[in-house]
């Protein structure tokens, strides 16, 4: 199982953003798609950064109402994404293994690892949930 290539595990339909996107649009994508990590790509889909839900919470505190939590759009849009995102994030290639992904996520406490080709074109993403889904499928079928 540890030698399984990431191309067999990675999610290829990745929600992305551009460095020019507003922080409120990032929060909306995270909320709408129920995700916590968004790779930032340029016009050629080259990986240039990543932003996480934790990054949002670090910079902007949500407000609590009786309906739940919400972010103030105006407050969020005072921040510029390219200064909040993690630039040039660690990434792996599709032929790297499951063990490589687990190692880099555990050692660095990453909640995801982007998957890109040699030219840094984003191809997919792997999260701990993707790893657990894979392990579950393997164990269930054996």
- Band of pLDDT at residue 80, cut at 50, 70 and 90: confident
Rounded to whole angstroms, the Cα distance separating 10 from 85 reads: 22
HSE, CB side, 13 Å, CA atoms: give it for residue 136: 6
Q: What is the pLDDT of residue 108?
A: 96
Question: Could you tell me the domains of the chain?
Answer: 6-141 (3.10.580.10)
Structure tokens at 114: 């982007």
- pLDDT tens digits for range 20-51: 999 999 999 999 999 999 999 999 999 999 99
Q: What is the pLDDT of residue 57?
A: 86
Q: What is the pLDDT of residue 48?
A: 98
Rounded to whole angstroms, the Cα distance separating 73 from 96 reads: 39
């Amino acid at each position: 199982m540890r030698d399984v290539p990431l191309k067999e595990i990675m999610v290829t339909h990745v929600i992305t953003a551009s460095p020019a996107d507003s922080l409120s649009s990032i929060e909306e994508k995270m909320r709408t798609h129920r995700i916590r990590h968004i790779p930032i790509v340029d016009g050629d889909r080259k990986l240039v950064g990543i932003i996480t839900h934790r990054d949002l919470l670090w910079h902007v505190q949500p407000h609590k109402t009786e309906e739940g939590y919400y972010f103030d759009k105006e407050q969020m849009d005072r921040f510029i994404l390219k200064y909040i995102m993690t630039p040039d994030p660690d990434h792996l290639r599709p032929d790297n293994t499951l063990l490589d992904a687990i190692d880099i996520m555990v050692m660095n406490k990453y909640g995801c690892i982007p998957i890109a080709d040699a030219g840094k074109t984003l191809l997919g993403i792997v999260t701990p949930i993707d790893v657990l889904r894979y392990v579950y499928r393997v164990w269930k079928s054996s």
